[in-house]
Amino acid sequence: MSEGEELLELCRLVLESDLAMVTVKLGSPTLVTSVRTRRTTFAEKLATFGGTVGLFTGMSFLSAFEVLFWIKRSAEGLLQRSLRVKRRP
């Protein structure tokens, strides 16, 4: 018997002694189905955008609004000062 035949016989013996059969039975023949929709609400879009901005820039919507508030306030102050300077005789 060659070495290849011996290995083949060994594989057959192992397969015969270690073979197991598993039977699976289901309790009822029901199937659960789900429907996928692509609709997203405005709140979901806003949350996704805010999460992405927060992740990549470290900024929240509150921080962005605060920055815009201070820019607006500074611009109004500069505008009022320039109007006062122009009114002086």
Domain ranges, ordered by start, for the chain: 60-89
The predicted-structure confidence for 50-71, as pLDDT tens digits, reads as follows 888 888 887 777 888 899 999 9
- CB–CB of 50/61 below 8 Å? yes
The predicted-structure confidence for 25-50, as pLDDT tens digits, reads as follows 878 778 788 888 888 899 999 889 88
Rounded-to-integer distance, Cα 85 and Cα 67, Å: 27
Predicted TM-score of the model (pTM): 0.38
